[in-house]
Amino acid sequence: MKKLTILLLLLSNNLFAQLEHTQFLITTVRTGDTEIFAVNPITGDAFNISKAPKSEERYPAWHPNGKQVIFTSNREDGKTYNYYIANLDGSNLKKISDLTEGSVAYWASFTSDGKWIYFNEGNTSKIYRVTPEGRQQEEVADGRDANISPDGKKFVFTQKGQKLGECG
């Protein structure tokens, strides 16, 4: 029993040491509007990445390099949610998607090499991809909730089916 206790203590200390340098991305209204924060789960320290008091930011995702974050924001016109990329400290903010007025971008996933971002547009049920630099945006499928495979060669998504006639 003593060996098990020592093992558990060692494992918990190792886990604590790993979490000490971990950050979670959250969407919160702690500033009075919806913002993206990076939060240390051990200390509770939080940093506002999006810093846009007159807009709404949602759907954050990590870049595979761990140094950048993407999120949607309606900061341009108050009604169109495009994707933006920024460094973890909020610097170098750049709009990377260019959707039509009233569109809602969401559910982003990066390829493991960080070269492409796949995301959904909620009003049309279209799946797009774009580079982190905001180039080569293109529609790739009709559907929702796309996720890219680890090798970046395939993606899975939900596709709207057709309603069948009544059985009888």
Res. 119 pLDDT band, cuts 50 70 90: very high
CA distances from 167 to 40, 125, 161, 163 (A): 55, 28, 17, 12
Percentage with pLDDT > 90 across the chain: 43
Cα separation of 90 and 71, whole Å? 11
Res. 165 pLDDT band, cuts 50 70 90: very low
Average pLDDT of the segment spanning 118-146: 91
Provide the 3-class DSSP secondary structure of residue 19: helix
Cα separation of 113 and 41, whole Å? 27
Q: Is 162 exposed, middle or buried (0-12, 13-18, 19+ CB in 10 A)?
A: exposed
- Class of domain 56-158 as given by CATH: mainly beta
Res. 2 pLDDT band, cuts 50 70 90: low
Question: What one-letter code names the amino acid at 61?
Answer: A
Average pLDDT of the segment spanning 2-22: 51
| Tens digit of each residue's pLDDT (9 = 90 or more) over 37-78 | 899 888 888 888 998 888 999 999 999 998 999 999 999 999
Average pLDDT of the segment spanning 21-44: 84
| Domain coordinates in residue numbering, the chain | 56-158
